[in-house]
Amino acid sequence: MKRHLTGLIAAPHTPMRADGSIRLDRIEKQAELLSGGGVRGVFISGTTGEGMSLTLSERLNIAERWQAVAGGDFPVIVNVGHLCLTDSKVLAAHAQKIGVHAIATMAPCFFKPAGIKDLVLFCAEIAAAAPELPFYYYHIPALTGVVVPMLEFLREAAERIPTLAGVKFTYDDLVDFRRCLAFEGGKFDILFGRDEILLSALALGARGAIGSTYNFAAPLYKSIINAYDTGDMVTAQKEQTRAMELVKVLEEFGGLPAGKCVMGTIGVDCGPVRLPLRTLSDDQRKRLGAELERIGFFSYCLGRRAS
């Protein structure tokens, strides 16, 4: 199995045209922005990538394009989660065929697993379709509605999934998070997924994180990590507060639609979101820009402010 991932891993947006079709030609620019800004890899077709709103063929094409432009030193993790187990297995097998770094899946969110054993059985089927790739469980109860302790998941899955690498932990149960980090002497890679409380995770031992705001605010989070690593907690706390303000502003404008708007603001237009999400209106875009200016976003963002 591959080594634990460290540093910031972005969850990139899926670039789309005005009619909702995918713009694969924009992915290279996304990759250049991220790798040039110190981001260590990408987690594609997840929540930020609107993976559950994409067709199977779109997800296959997106994975191929990201792997083609990423290069060997920029890990690509493919979210293969799907309501249909067969389609998840198709995505997993394809990810192995094109040589990505790892795969991940979330719990199904319509017919939900009754407990840990059923969740592990579901994940084991998907992992078996890509037996050469590290497998991560994508823990995001806010969207799946599946709330189970990840420590119990690791205990059960370690016996059933030979390729189990760890968890993308997008939840605020920091007790469970720390226990997962310590499980079996730190054997598993527990990647933190809540940007607004990254500093808390660092204090508990996190060394890798996956997040949506790393697409455009990686320098801010690198400052948090650097300050923490050098023992400068005053600076780390100050910078984390700035990140909290950024996330708060984005949430006020719809979260993911606001994030896509921000990408255009810094010169990497990722287009609209898909229904049922709503793309920001011109007035909302103007007000979002003013809020970003107010909190000093353009002093630390990646790229540039588009004219």
Which residue ranges of the chain lie beneath pLDDT 50? 1
Which residues are catalytic, by number?
Answer: 138, 168
Q: What is the pLDDT of residue 72?
A: 77
Q: What is the pLDDT of residue 306?
A: 61
For residue 286, tell me if it sits in a domain.
no
For residue 279, tell me if it sits in a domain.
no
For residue 39, tell me if it sits in a domain.
yes
> Cα torsion for 203, 4, 302, 48, to the nearest 10°?
-90
The token pair at 187 is 């054997």
Domain count, the chain: 1
Domain housing 108: 7-233
For residue 181, tell me if it sits in a domain.
yes
**DSSP 8-state symbol, 16:** B
For residue 275, tell me if it sits in a domain.
no
For residue 165, tell me if it sits in a domain.
yes
For residue 228, tell me if it sits in a domain.
yes
Q: What is the pLDDT of residue 302?
A: 86
What is the distance in angstroms between the CA of the first residue and the CA of the last residue of the chain? 45
Q: At what angle do helices 56-70 and 85-98 cross, to 10 degrees?
A: 20
Residue 206 and residue 199: Cα distance in Å, rounded? 9
Residue 115 and residue 112: Cα distance in Å, rounded? 9
Cα of 276 vs its chain's centroid, Å: 20
For residue 291, tell me if it sits in a domain.
no
73-129 pLDDT tens trace? 899 999 999 999 999 999 999 999 999 999 999 999 999 999 999 999 999 999 999
Q: Please say whether the beta carbons of 18 and 202 come within 8 A.
A: no
Which CATH number belongs to the domain containing residue 53 in this structure? 3.20.20.70
